[in-house]
Amino acid sequence: MEGGIFVGVVLRGEAGSGMVSISGLMEDIKSGYARSVGVLDGKLYVVGGHEGPNVRRSAEVYNPDTKQWTAIADMGTCRRNAGVVSLNGLLYVVGGENVGANPVESTVEIYNPHTDTWSLLPSQMSVGRSYVGVAIIDR
């Protein structure tokens, strides 16, 4: 991004008052765009993204109670523009883009916050997806 800077801040909005305040600064703001965000157990997770041509596999978690960012284990695959959703205490990172022979990912990585580890979902999507929106429907 030319002519700009990456600020890596969390803005906290108060629903009742409409007030917005800065809540925390990211540890790793080098990967300033195309990062993916999800919420698990009241914490904000930010994964992947890219800095120039370099796609990243790094991940961080923000705890709004302590207003602290913490680096967590890197994903197994570099990803940008992935979808993120949580279910049953795990974080799922779906698709996204990488570089190389297969730039659009068809895999899903699962993060376990209790062990700080990533694993691959055993089955892949039939087609890779990027800029994907994901949601959980409780039935």
Q: Give the DSSP letter of residue 31.
A: S
Please state the rounded mean pLDDT for residues 94-110. Answer: 88
Find where tokens 């993204």 sit. 49
Q: Is the pLDDT of residue 12 over 60?
A: no
Output 31 or 117, whichever has higher pLDDT: 117
Q: Return the minimum-mean-pLDDT range out of 6-10, 63-67, 85-89, 109-113.
A: 6-10
The domain locations on the chain are 9-120
Backbone angles phi, psi at 52, to 5 degrees: 60, -135
Write the CB contacts of 103 (distance below 8 Å, at least 6 apart in sequence). 97, 128
Nearest to 73 by CA among 95, 94, 47, 53: 47
Burial (CB count <10 Å: 0-12, 13-18, 19+), residue 118: buried
* pLDDT band at residue 64 using 50, 70 and 90 as cut-offs: confident
Give me the architecture of the 9-120 domain, per CATH.
Answer: 6 Propeller (2.120)
92: β partners: 85, 110
